[in-house]
A and B are shown apart, each in its own frame.
Chain A
Amino acid sequence: MKKSAAFALATALLLGTAHAQEKVTLTVAAFPSLDSAIKAILPAWTKLHPNVTINLQAQQFADHHNAMTTALATGQGLPDVMAIEIGYVGKFAEGQGLENLNSAPYSAAQYKKLFTPFTIAQATGSDGRFIAMPTDIGPGTFFYRKDVLDKAGVNPLTMQSSWENYIASGKKIKQKTGAYLVNTAASVYNLVIRTNLKSGEGIYFDKQNNLLVGPDSARFVRAMTLAKQVRDAGLDAKIGEWSNEWYDAFKKGTVATQFSGAWLQGALQNWMAPDTKGLWRVQNLPEKGFASWGGSFYAIPSKAKNKQWAWEFIKFMTLNQGSQITAFQDNGAFPALIAAQKDKAFSEPVEFLGGQKARVLWRDAAAKTQPIDVNKYDSVADQILQTELTNVLEQGKDIKQALADARAQIARRAR
């Protein structure tokens, strides 16, 4: 009698139908602010699966990804569900250690069309393995203070038309209102190098691992030149992102424009600068650039203990429209799920942006965003170039020389 009951239970478990009673602890490793979205969704999950406890580990952003990188590399200390930010997902897709969600039992291919297309490509390795489900995206967008631009008599569309016009308008704004154009000249550089990539190109390397950085790269020369122009004209406030100065600038309106992900609107509204309601507007990035600014994915390590429940959890976070909306409401995480983007909340005007129907704009921008090819030496290249950019901006180093130096350094490291 007992035996047959055990057998029935085992069968049920194998079939994955009646996992109602087993006690499971699922480890989920995440970073801020994704952890906050998970916490917001957890009550709904617990209602559905009271037997599955979620053990949420959250570390500082870079620490989380470093920890996951080494954990994957060494196969130790892996969670059941791993959150990955978009800047890392390509790198993880090229490495080993994460489950290929294309294959059984996940068979995620059926879900791919449900998501904003570039996220799927971003999470797919060059060998075709699909390693992570997208949960939120950060459609890159151009925030500006309407009141400041009006005061300076600047047309936002002019700023959008070209980088040269953007800078020219910035001079006008500075002169007429005293406000800075942008928080830091580096953000102009960072945007220019990420937009208008040729198909199949990464930011720093192409598909054949050829280094794209150098004094002959028009993209990098232009990015640095524009950043330098911004700095030399005194148009940037020299403020780093995620600093208290940054928040303060938003509150006081001392910076007129900001390139960021759509989620910044949520942050501005909720805590960064709630009092500036109605003063902000958004539009697409300059020169028809489309870029993603943040975004998160969930993956399952091959050595995870509870792959089945991990998959259930991921499906609940990514495919469930309710979860996606909850995350959006929690911290403005823009859904990767297209169905959630079509929720009626997304065609409503955004009060904070003066009644602009901004989410439609973001949805369209997301649809036009291209995946960016990645390379395992991206982090090396990024750090070296940031250093050279600082040399250009702060020490007046010649741009061609800086790029030549960067090229030499990156080439040596990318063995």
Chain B
Amino acid sequence: MTTTPVQHAAPGTRTRRARLPWQRVPIWALMLLACFLSVVPFYLMFVWASHPSAEVFTFPPHLWFGDALARNWQGLMQVTDGQAPRQFWNSLYIALISTLTTLFFCSLAGYAFAMYDFRGKGALFAFILGTMLIPPLVMDIPSFLVMNNVLHWVGQPRALWVPGMANAFGIFLMRQYISSALPRELIEAARMDGATEFGIYRQVVLPLIRPILATLGVVTFVGAWNNFKGALIMKLSEPDTMTLPLSLRRLGGGATNVNVDWGAIMMLVVITVIPLLIVFLLASRQVISGLTSGAVKD
């Protein structure tokens, strides 16, 4: 089974709710404080992105929005040589293509592990789970060398999205969902009707696993959008390929003899974060259940 953590309480639990309001004051205070601390950096980045560069660092600090949004956008276009939209697109491209390929390959493999019986299945699945134990860090150096010396992919977006297309986490997630949500009879019936195996996957399985596709999709999107170390190692540094995190690093990474335009940098910070906020607010349930689903194994 998969977890669905954001459930509403069972009806029967209402009975123990006879607390006095004042008892709840500290609880609410605590919760609001926690939420406040979670949100305040986001709030501040928007505030800063709306103030002129020189006023990002002022005493006392600005706590309310300014009117320099348009100016900071122009500043950003200037410091990025007009490449900011292109960088946005590069990030989006990698995130989208990662998402689509991951969904395809992971659902295909997850479906195979959930619905077929084949020789070596158990061992293969255990092997896939086992690969999750390898810390990604061990792979950084040799995969750079493979990308660089063998495949010549360094500097190309595919260096970021190809290796993760069929990943252990996605396959595990898909298998868990498909084996609990899809009746085998359905597959057998389609097979009786003469559908090919891939046809069954495409016409029967895919439409029925939309919820988990949404979950894995947003999780993959967020991960690919945020990938900084990968872009750094694989050198997506040309104007054609530079992604937003790398651009942020270039502008905000210090040690430069240029007039650091903090307003513009904060604008880029906001631009980097907004798609994440949108995706998350639209699909927070999927993201949360997807990311926490590793927690509950069958």
Closest A residue to B241 by CB, please name it. A57
Of the stretches B149-157, B179-187, B279-287, the one at the interface is B149-157
B38 at the interface (CB under 8 A from A): no
Given known contacts A74-B149, A76-B149, A76-B154, A63 and B254 CB-to-CB distance under 8 angstroms? no
Q: How many A-B residue pairs have CB under 8 A?
A: 79
- Asked whether B81 lies within 8 Å of A32 as measured between CB atoms, the reply is no
Given known pairs A76-B152, A77-B148, the reply for A27 and B238 (CB within 8 Å) is yes
Interface string of A70-97 (1 = CB under 8 A from B): 1100101100000000000000000000
Establish whether residues A33 and B81, one from each chain, have CB atoms under 8 Å apart when the complex forms: no
**SS class of chain B's interface: helix, strand, loop or mixed?**
loop
A221 to B256, CA, bound (A): 30
Nearest CB of chain A from residue B236's CB, rounded to whole Å: 10
Name which of B165-173, B192-200, B245-253 contacts chain A.
B245-253
Contact with A along B116-148 (1 / 0, CB 8 A): 000000000000000000000000000011001
Interface size range on B against A? 20 to 34
CA distance A349 to B287 in the complex (A): 63
Give 1 or 0 for each of B231-246: 1 = CB within 8 Å of chain A CB: 0100101110010001
User: B57, B149, B258: which has the most chain A beta carbons within 10 Å?
Assistant: B258
Say yes or no: B258 contacts A33, CB within 8 Å.
yes
User: Which of A27, A55, A71 meets B235, CB within 8 Å?
Assistant: A71
B-chain residues with CB within 8 Å of residue A77 when the two chains form the complex: 148, 154-155, 235
**Nearest Cβ distance between residue A404 and chain B, in whole angstroms?**
30
Which size bracket describes the interface of A in this complex? 35 or more
**Are B148 and A59 closer than 8 Å at their CB atoms?**
no
Check B255 for interface membership: any CB of A closer than 8 A.
yes
Q: How far apart are B153's CB and chain A's nearest CB, in angstroms?
A: 9
Q: When the two chains form the complex, which single residue of A32, A55, A70, A241 contacts B238, counting CB atoms closer than 8 Å?
A: A55
Interface stretch of the complex, out of A210-218, A263-271, A308-316, A407-415: A263-271
B259 within 8 Å of A by Cβ? yes
CB < 8 Å: which of A27, A59, A62, A270 contacts B246?
A59
A267 and B257 form a contact (CB under 8 A) = yes
Residue from the list A33, A60, A70 in contact with B250, Cβ < 8 A: A60
Closest-by-CB residue of A relative to B155 is A77
Residues of B within 8 A of A31 (CB): 256
Chain B contacts for A241, CB-based, 8 A: 255
Q: Which residues of chain A have C-beta atoms less than 8 A from B81's C-beta? A: 39, 56
**A67: contacting residue among B237, B257, B259, CB under 8 A:** B237
